[in-house]
Amino acid sequence: MGKGFYKLATAAIRIFSHRMKTEWEVPFEEGPCVFVVNNVGFMGPIEICVKFDERDRCHPWINDELVDARKIPAYARKDCWWKPGTFRAKMFNATVPYLAAVLLPPLVKSSPYVPVYHDQRIMLTLRESVRILQRDGALVVFPEVPDARLSRKEWISTGWLRLGEMWYRNCGRALKMYPVHIDRKKHVFRVAAPVWYDPGKLFREQEKDLVSALTNGMRGYQK
């Protein structure tokens, strides 16, 4: 299945689901950037890829497990797509992972996604990401980890932030990152002011500040 399937599927989702509007804290400036988005379960990535204002130039980072139907059920449970320990969780555990295993692989494979690997192949992810940014494209990253989402800790995975170093080495420019909070109750994408990776500092010197700024924007916290 090719791009035609992706366009048809995403159009159907837009028609038969709530519309989402985009609110920008500061006016958006064209150019290469990364949108750093809260997950909101498995629907978060779908919402941002289908209904976001900048969706046509976005390339989401998608874990490679989501193109393998055999791996999706375990991945869905591991990634906490629903609140564990509830009555509904038992029903969801028995149905949603297997439904996702049927629907997600053809949708993901036909989308403009960047496969994310968790081994030495991560360099393929980073190189493809740099190529997309060089074409003035935009990346979409979902860095929240399940434990942080449940406990509200101010913590996200940070390995992907090395992209800032790689981007600067290749293009001599600082990486611009927009934190995005998906509010599904109010049907709004709230895009915070951009956060910049500082190429003049070592990663360890700015990691804490980057995590704090990105997390605040992703969670929709007031400054």
Of residues 100, 102, 104, 106, the one with CA closest to residue 4: 106
Predicted pLDDT of residue 146: 63
- Is residue 36 scored above 80 in pLDDT? yes
Question: Tell me, what's the pLDDT at 154?
Answer: 57
Q: Using one digit for the tens of pLDDT, what is the confidence trace for 162-218?
A: 999 999 999 999 999 999 999 989 999 999 999 999 999 999 999 999 999 999 999
Taking only the tens place, the pLDDT of each residue in 71-87 is: 888 877 776 566 667 77
pLDDT by residue (tens digit) across 5-34?
Answer: 778 888 888 888 889 999 999 999 999 999
- Which tokens sit at 177? 């990152």
pLDDT reported for residue 147: 58
> pLDDT tens across 96-132, in order?
778 888 887 887 888 889 999 888 899 999 999 999 9
Q: Give the C-alpha separation, 117 to 120, whole Å.
A: 8
Task: Mention every residue, 6+ apart, whose C-beta is less than 8 A from residue 85.
Answer: none
Cα of 221 vs its chain's centroid, Å: 18
- 3-state class (DSSP) for residue 193: coil
Task: Quote the tokens at residue 171.
Answer: 């293009």
Contact 36, 178 (CB under 8 A): yes
| Confidence at residue 168, expressed as pLDDT on a 0 to 100 scale | 96
Tell me the pTM.
0.85
For residues 1 and 105, give the distance between their C-alpha atoms in angstroms, rounded to a whole number.
10
Instruction: Kindly give, in sequence order, each residue whose CB lies less than 8 Å from that of residue 133, ignoring residues fewer than 6 positions away.
Output: 32, 33, 139, 167, 171, 175
Residue with tokens 């990401």: 129
